[in-house]
Amino acid sequence: MAPRESRPWVLGIETSCDETAAAVVAADRRILAQAVYSQLGEHAPYGGVVPEIAARAHAERLDRLIARVLTEAGVTPAELDAVAVTAGPGLVGGLLVGVVTATAVATVHRLPLVAVNHLEAHALTARLTHGIEFPYLLLLVSGGHTQLLWVEGVGCYHRLGATIDDAVGEAFDKVAKMLGLGYPGGPAVERMAEDGDPTAFALPRPLVGQEHCQFSFSGLKTAVRQAILRLGPRAADPGIQANLCASFQQAVADVLVDRTRRALQRVRGEGRALGSLVVAGGVAANRTLRAALEVLAGEEGVQLVLPPFDLCGDNAAMVAWCAIERLQAGLATAAVPRVRARWPLDPAAEPLPGAGAKA
For residue 352, is pLDDT > 70? no
The DSSP letter of residue 337 is P
Q: Name residue 77's amino acid.
A: P
Segment 260-268 shows an average pLDDT of: 96
Domains in the chain (CATH in brackets) are 4-126+311-349 (3.30.420.40), 134-309 (3.30.420.40)
Q: How many CB atoms within 10 Å of residue 215?
A: 29
For residue 348, is pLDDT > 90? no
Q: How many CA atoms lie within 13 A of 273 on its CB side?
A: 5
Q: How many CB atoms within 10 Å of residue 204?
A: 14
For 14, residues 6+ apart whose C-beta sits below 8 A from its C-beta are 20, 21, 22, 85, 86, 98, 118, 121, 314, 315, 316, 318, 319
For residue 185, is pLDDT > 50? yes
The pLDDT assigned to 327 comes to 96
Which 3 state secondary structure label does DSSP give 166? coil
Segment 136-151 shows an average pLDDT of: 94
pLDDT for 70-95, tens place per residue?
Answer: 999 999 999 999 999 999 999 999 99
What's the rounded Cα separation, in Å, for the pair 35 and 25? 12
Which residue, among 315, 280, 313, 308, has the nearest Cα to 84 in the 3D structure? Answer: 315
CA dihedral 206, 211, 213, 218 (to 10 degrees): -20
- Residue 94 near residue 113 (C-beta atoms within 8 A): no
Phi then psi dihedrals of residue 142, to 5 deg: -150, -170
Helix (H) or strand (E) holding 43: helix 40-43
What's the rounded Cα separation, in Å, for the pair 167 and 186? 12
For residue 351, is pLDDT > 80? no
- Residue 286 near residue 250 (C-beta atoms within 8 A): no
pTM for the structure as a whole: 0.93
Which residue, among 29, 35, 37, has the nearest Cα to 12 in the 3D structure? Answer: 35
What's the rounded Cα separation, in Å, for the pair 289 and 249? 8
- Residue 193 near residue 288 (C-beta atoms within 8 A): yes
Task: Choose between 334 and 28: higher pLDDT.
Answer: 28
Segment 256-260 shows an average pLDDT of: 98
Q: What is the secondary structure of 53-112 as a DSSP string?
A: HHHHHHHHHHHHHHHHHHHHHT--GGG-SEEEEEEESS-HHHHHHHHHHHHHHHHHTT--
- Residue 117 near residue 306 (C-beta atoms within 8 A): no
The pLDDT assigned to 359 comes to 45
Which residue, among 327, 310, 305, has the nearest Cα to 116 in the 3D structure? Answer: 327
Q: What is the secondary structure of 286-336 as a DSSP string?
A: -HHHHHHHHHHHHHHT-EEE---GGGTSS-SHHHHHHHHHHHHTT----SP
What's the rounded Cα separation, in Å, for the pair 209 and 272? 22
For residue 304, is pLDDT > 50? yes
For 185, residues 6+ apart whose C-beta sits below 8 A from its C-beta are 172, 173, 174, 175, 176, 177
pLDDT for 186-217, tens place per residue?
Answer: 999 999 999 999 999 999 999 999 999 999 99
Task: Choose between 263 and 48: higher pLDDT.
Answer: 263
The pLDDT assigned to 331 comes to 92
Band of pLDDT at residue 1, cut at 50, 70 and 90: low
pLDDT for 314-331, tens place per residue?
Answer: 999 999 999 999 999 999
